C-alpha cells in the first residue's frame, strides 16, 4: 500500500531512543511527518524553526522537565496554541494535573498500544482539508 504524503507534523520530545523510534514509526506509518528532540533544551532551540501541528512531550527528560517544555511552548507566541500530548510513565492523577497546569492538552500513560496512540494523536491534530 502506497503511503500518502504527510499532511501534518508532530514534534516528539523524548529522551529514550527506543520510545522515540517507536512513536516515529507509528506516526510515519500514519503519514505524519516527525521532528524529534532528545531533550528539553534541544526542543526549545528547534522550536524557532519548526512549526508542528502537535507536540508530544515526555515528562522525564535529562535537562529540563517536560513541564518546563510545556510552559515554554505556551509562552512562545508561534506555538502557544499548538496542542501538547504528554506521554509519561507517571500514573498518579497529580502528575496529570500538573501537566495540564503547565499547558498539556492531553495525557497518555506509557506503555500504550499503537492504536490508542494514533487515535489520541489524530484527535489532537487539526482537521485535514477536504480530500482531493
Q: Output the pTM of the full model.
A: 0.92
At 60, is the pLDDT very low, low, confident or very high (cuts 50, 70, 90)? very high
Cα distances (angstroms) measured from residue 111 to each of 20, 53, 73, 101 = 12, 23, 24, 23
CB of 102 within 8 A of CB of 96? no
* 14 pLDDT more than 80: yes
| pLDDT value for 7 | 83
Average pLDDT over residues 48-74: 96
Between 91 and 53, name the one with better pLDDT. Answer: 53
Average pLDDT over residues 34-49: 95
| pLDDT value for 91 | 86
Average pLDDT over residues 10-28: 97
Cα distances (angstroms) measured from residue 123 to each of 11, 96, 111, 118 = 16, 18, 19, 8
Domains, the chain, in order of start with CATH, read: 8-121 (3.40.50.2300)
CB of 50 within 8 A of CB of 11? yes
The closest of 87, 88, 82 to 124, measured between CA atoms, is: 82
Please give the mean pLDDT across all residues of the chain: 92
User: Using one digit for the tens of pLDDT, what is the confidence trace for 83-98?
Assistant: 999 999 998 999 999 9
Classify the C-alpha dihedral 81-83-88-92 as positive or negative. Answer: positive
CA dist 93 and 71 (Å) reads 19
Amino acid at each position: 500500500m502506497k503511503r500518502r504524503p504527510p499532511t501534518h507534523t508532530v514534534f516528539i520530545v523524548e529522551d529514550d531512543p527506543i520510545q522515540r523510534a517507536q512513536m516515529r514509526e507509528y506516526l510515519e506509518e500514519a503519514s505524519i511527518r516527525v521532528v524529534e528532540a532528545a531533550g528539553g533544551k534541544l526542543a526549545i532551540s528547534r522550536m524557532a524553526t519548526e512549526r508542528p501541528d502537535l507536540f508530544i512531550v515526555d515528562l522525564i527528560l535529562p535537562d529540563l522537565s517536560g513541564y518546563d517544555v510545556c510552559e515554554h511552548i505556551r509562552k512562545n507566541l508561534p506555538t502557544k496554541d499548538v496542542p501538547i500530548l504528554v506521554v509519561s510513565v507517571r500514573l498518579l492523577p497529580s502528575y496529570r494535573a500538573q501537566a495540564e497546569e503547565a499547558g498539556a492538552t492531553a495525557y497518555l500513560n506509557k506503555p500504550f498500544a499503537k492504536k490508542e496512540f494514533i487515535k489520541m494523536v489524530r484527535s489532537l491534530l487539526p482537521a485535514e482539508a477536504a480530500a482531493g
